[in-house]
Amino acid sequence: MSRTPTPSWPADHAERYRAAGWWRGETFGQMLRERAAAHPDRVALVDPAAGSRWTYAELDERADRMAAGFAARGIAPGDRVVVQLPNIAEFFEVVFALFRIGALPVFALPAHRESEITYFCAFTEAAAYVIPAEHGGYDYRELAAKVRAEVPGLGAVFVTGGDPGPFEALADLPRDPVPLPGPAPHDLAFLQLSGGSTGVPKLIPRTHDDYLYSVRASNELCGVDEHSVYLCVLPAAHNFPLSSPGTLGALYAGARVVLCPQPSPDVAFPLIEQEGVTLTGVVPPLALVWTEAAAASTYDLSSLDVLLVGGAKFSEEAARRVRPALGCTLQQVFGMAEGLVNYTRLDDPAETIVTTQGRPISPDDEIRVVDDEDHDVPPGTPGHLLTRGPYTIRGYWRAPEHNATAFTADGFYRTGDIVRLTATGHLVVEGRAKDQINRGGEKIAAEEVENHLLAHPAVHDANLVAEADPYLGERTRAYVILRAGAGPLKPAALKAFIRGRGLAAYKVPDRVEFVEQFPQTAIGKISKKDLRAAAVRTAQEPVAGPAGG
Ligand code: OOB
């Protein structure tokens, strides 16, 4: 395995970001300590499913005790720990404990399965893996047993919320706090996952300094202060609910975080009423459901000031419905785990809020919109978005070859998004150049799923493309060529095969279509462009007979 140093900002840029006050030399561990000292009795976390309310003092103390437990099990600064926890208070106890040690959480999602988790544990040479015993009717101990069998080097597996089975319960770790020097502000804080367009997800190295800047600045732009109540609706480990301004923003401000166990209105709306939630963040499909449900709802949603919507393109028509339905300000957010986050401003004209995806957080976010040859396009013309700045990574973790193409020579990240810049400096997302499907905010790398399809003995070739979906925005369609002489294969059987390979459910193709051949470009390469066009053209058609699915 390569031991290339983690790419970082050149010294002159780092100096500039410090001088400008963007990087302030804080760490997340210190941040929590300071908040706990300033207002120990204020409620930091509400976990309605567990019926628990932890004050800042309690969260701080729990993080210290858990850090001691992890340290006693040999977890050291710089170690990677795959964290796969749902929206429960222990997520924060674990993550802040790792921050205190200087160990790096690797933020897996609850939906990930054997294929993804095995890769994260093996690639990061994880010292530990943290799971709930069960969640959403799924037994994570069984998953961990499979992962451990495949990754013999995996250290401990820690379990919360039930019988740990063959593993160790978090609750049984030693709990006497020990002195820990903690990381430096320029050290890595965690590894976030990329949505990706390649066979395996890339890992995104974020530092305390850079991430805290994005969190602090997000608070200002989203009006978060100590009176705010943030409802965490999306999976807590994702960059959007974590930092835009998210749970970490709320904790930074000394505000209250309410953990929503499920995103549906019948769970979220009562929590908004009971806890006086002032802001939350959702993906576009959920925003649609909420605006519809609000009309018939008897819950009092009047505390809600701001609804952040992002992760995928929010249509103008849907955006217009937010204020009338929910009585709050819409704030569009176009962000990426690699860094750059754009927000519409709370005081932007209403038209700007519904028709753009916002503008960058920082005066030091550099934006370029370029053509296929990296030449700047005239203002207002759609092109590829390139960016660099004080909280955008300069390279993925241990991926030098990929970095050579994913970043320009002078350090701009190639986002893979096609955008247009308005006269006011706002960005409008027009499309995507990367080979990724955005399924209602959940990102699917086409190549990853294609590789799994190709593993089926009857499959000769496969391509995954997006087709339009009225609710999700996009869903997936797999075009598959079967091997000559292969017996009949039903779409459902191929989907079951993919599921059986331990892939997160959202990556299983929504529709499988068998074809004789793929359209080709002039030089004989497979034309994904034509496949995408075909998928868009025929999205409404049922697929006929046994080939359909
Ligand atoms: C967020 O982060 P990721 O890393 O899951 O995905 C980033 C990609 C972007 O490159 C873009 O393709 C798409 O998701 N995206 C949007 C969008 N927000 C994200 N496309 C159109 N309109 C939007 N508003 O998705 C993320 C991270 C932080 C905050 C919000 C979202």
Residue 505, domain CATH: 3.30.300.30
Q: pLDDT value at position 540? A: 76
What is the reported pTM? 0.97
Consecutive H or E run containing 147: helix 140-150
Show the ligand 1 pocket: residues with CB < 6 angstroms. 195, 239-240, 244, 310-313, 332-337, 341, 357, 415, 417, 429, 432, 438, 443
Q: Which helix (H) or strand (E) holds 332?
A: strand 329-336
| Atom number, ligand 1, closest to the C-alpha of residue 309 | 24
Reported as a single tens digit per residue, the pLDDT across 455-468 is 999 999 999 999 99
Instruction: Grade residue 549 by pLDDT with cuts at 50, 70 and 90.
Output: low
pLDDT (tens digit per residue) in 97-126: 999 999 999 999 999 999 999 999 999 999
Ligand 1 mean position, distance from CA 240 (Å): 8
Mean pLDDT of the chain: 96
Other CB atoms within 10 Å distance of the CB of residue 280: 27
| 548 pLDDT tier (thresholds 50, 70, 90) | very low
Query: Residue 535: pLDDT band by 50, 70, 90 thresholds?
Result: confident
Residue-wise pLDDT tens digits, 26-85: 999 999 999 999 999 999 999 999 999 999 999 999 999 999 999 999 999 999 999 999
Nearest CA to ligand 1 atom 14: 311
The percent of residues above 90 in pLDDT, for the chain, comes to 93
Domain boundary among 183, 208, 242: 183
509 CA distance to ligand 1 centroid (A)? 21
- What DSSP line would sit under 100-134, residue for residue? HHT-EEEE--TT--HHHHHHHHHHTT-SEEEEESE
Whether 129 is in a domain gets the answer: yes
Q: Is residue 394 part of a domain?
A: no
Measure 483 CA to ligand 1 centroid, in angstroms. 37
Residue 544 has pLDDT above 80, yes or no: no
Q: Tell me how far the alpha carbon of residue 314 lies from the centroid of ligand 1, in angstroms.
A: 11
Q: Which two tokens mark 79? A: 């170690």
What's the whole-number mean pLDDT along residues 337-360? 98
What pLDDT band is residue 539 in, cutting at 50, 70 and 90? confident
Residue type, position 329, single letter = T
pLDDT single digits (tens) 145-163: 999 999 999 999 999 999 9
Per residue in 297-314, pLDDT tens? 999 999 999 999 999 999
**Two tokens at 259?**
């953990």
Residue ID of nearest Cα to ligand 1 atom 3? 336
Residue at 475 is within a domain? yes
Residue 416 is assigned to a structural domain of this protein: no
Report if residue 133 sits inside a domain: yes
Give distance in angstroms: CA of 195 to centre of ligand 1. Answer: 9
Considering 148, 166, 183, which residue would you say is the last residue of a domain? 183
pLDDT digits (tens, 9 = 90+) for 500-521: 999 999 999 999 999 999 999 9
Query: Is the pLDDT confidence value at 1 over 60?
Result: no
Q: What atom in ligand 1 is closest to the CA of residue 441?
A: 25
Q: Which atom of ligand 1 is nearest to the CA of 358?
A: 24
pLDDT grade for 543, boundaries at 50, 70 and 90: low
CATH of the domain at 68: 3.40.50.980
Q: How far is the CA of 237 from the centre of ligand 1 (A)?
A: 15
* Residue 547 in this model has a pLDDT that exceeds 70: no
Q: Please report the atom of ligand 1 found closest to the CA of residue 192.
A: 4
Domain count, the chain: 2
Residue nearest to atom 25 of ligand 1 (CA): 311
The atom number, within ligand 1, closest to the CA of 357 reads 24
Please check whether residue 377 lies inside any domain of the structure.
no
* 405 in any annotated domain: no
Query: Where is the domain boundary, 183, 216, 247?
Result: 183
Q: Is the pLDDT of residue 545 over 90?
A: no
Domain interval for residue 146: 28-41+55-183
Residue 95 is predicted with a pLDDT of 99
The preferred substitution site among 336, 428, 430, 432 for testing ligand 1, maximizing ligand atoms within 8 Å of CB, is 336
C-alpha of residue 531 to centroid of ligand 1, in Å: 24
pLDDT in the model for residue 483 = 96
Q: How far is the CA of 429 from the centre of ligand 1 (A)?
A: 10
* Atom of ligand 1 minimally distant from the CA of 308: 30
Measured in angstroms, how far is the CA atom of residue 333 from the centroid of ligand 1?
8
Which of 201, 1, 234, 196 has the alpha carbon at shortest distance from 115? 201
Tokens of 406: 């994913």
H helices present in 162-275, as ranges: 208-222, 239-243, 246-253, 265-275
**pLDDT of res. 79:** 98
Edge-to-edge strand ranges of the sheet holding 473-482: 459-469, 473-482, 511-514
What CA–CA distance (Å, rounded) separates 242 from 230? 11
- Lowest mean pLDDT across 45-59, 335-349, 382-396, 519-533: 519-533
* Residue closest by Cα to atom 16 of ligand 1: 312
Q: Examine residue 200 and state whether it is found in any structural domain, yes or no.
A: no
Q: How far is the CA of 533 from the centre of ligand 1 (A)?
A: 23
Predicted local confidence at residue 487, as pLDDT: 83
| Ligand 1 mutation target, pool 233, 247, 334, most atoms within 8 A of CB | 334
CA of 88 to the centre of ligand 1 (A): 24
